[in-house]
Structure 1
Amino acid sequence: MRLFKKNDTQKNNTKLPMTGRVKKGFRFYCMVVMAMTVVLGSSVTAFAAGDPLTVVNNLSDFIFGLVRAVGMIMLGFGIVQIGLSLKSHDPSQRANGFLTLAGGVVITFAKEILTLITG
């Protein structure tokens, strides 16, 4: 039993007739669209801050935000490892889970720890 019927007749694909003037207009239109895409896509406005210290502080906040995200991921992974080790009664996995949890806490609060150390 066939689910799909296969037509053995060959279909002819014919191009629509296009005059030379229409071809030129279409080429021109494509070139204008591509040029506008390149011009608008590559122009990036850079707003400079008046104070360079503000720029450095913003960059520092961004980097510490990324570090905090990595720390939160490690914190969650450490909790999962501890839970799995309690289920399987594996002491080495439990130790690794607590180490990962402690490392995640330290990385998550790295900015606050550095602020306390530097005063």
Structure 2
Amino acid sequence: MRKLNKNTKLAFSIYCALVMGAALFTTSVYATNDPVTVVNNLSDFIFGLIRAIGMILLGFGVVQVGLSLKSHDPSQRANGFMTLAGGIIITFAKEILNIIVG
């Protein structure tokens, strides 16, 4: 596997920080008198964190596919597409579960 240069690592670190910051600071869990509301808020918060992890994997998969196309490495390309597919599935996990449950 090819090593990432300093600029790519910095850009990916900034991307990860922005995604995690957006997931952590846009949702909140407030304790109200209704316990169902608390559970729903907590569920939204946890699925926000899962979505952030999926978006980070999605970004890393795009980087891997791009580097594999540049270096003509088929095994890295396969890993990149697998990471990309996993990131898509993790990002849309809540919607997939809602479709399954009905």
TM norm structure 1: 0.60
How many percent identity over aligned positions? Answer: 79
With the length of structure 2 as denominator, give the TM-score of the two structures: 0.70
- Give the structure 1 partner of residue 52 of structure 2: 69
Per the alignment, residue 42 of structure 1 pairs with none
Q: Which residue of structure 1 aligns with residue 41 of structure 2?
A: 58
Q: Relative to 1, partners in 2 of residues 1:54 and 1:99: Cα closer, same or farther, differing over 3 Å? A: same
Report the Cα offset of residue 97 of structure 1: 0.1
Helix, strand or coil for the counterpart of 2:38? helix
* Structure with greater helix share of residues: 2
Task: Provide the residue aligned with 1:102 in structure 2.
Answer: 85
Which structure 1 residue ranges, 5 or more long, are not aligned?
1-46
Matched, 1:84 2:75: no
Give the number of aligned pairs: 73
Larger Rg: 1
Q: Distance in 2 between matches of 1:118 and 1:77?
A: 30
Structure 1 runs (4+) greater than 6 angstroms displaced: none
Backbone CA RMSD of aligned residues = 1.0
1:1-32 deviation per Cα after TM superposition (whole angstroms, max 9, x unaligned): xxxxxxxxxxxxxxxxxxxxxxxxxxxxxxxx
Which runs of no fewer than 5 residues in structure 2 stay unpaired? Answer: 1-29
Alpha-carbon displacement from aligned partner over 1:28-79 (angstroms, at most 9, x marks no partner): xxxxxxxxxxxxxxxxxxx741210000000000000000000000000000
The aligned residue for residue 94 of structure 2 is 111
- Matched residues in 2 for 1:53 and 1:78: separation? 37
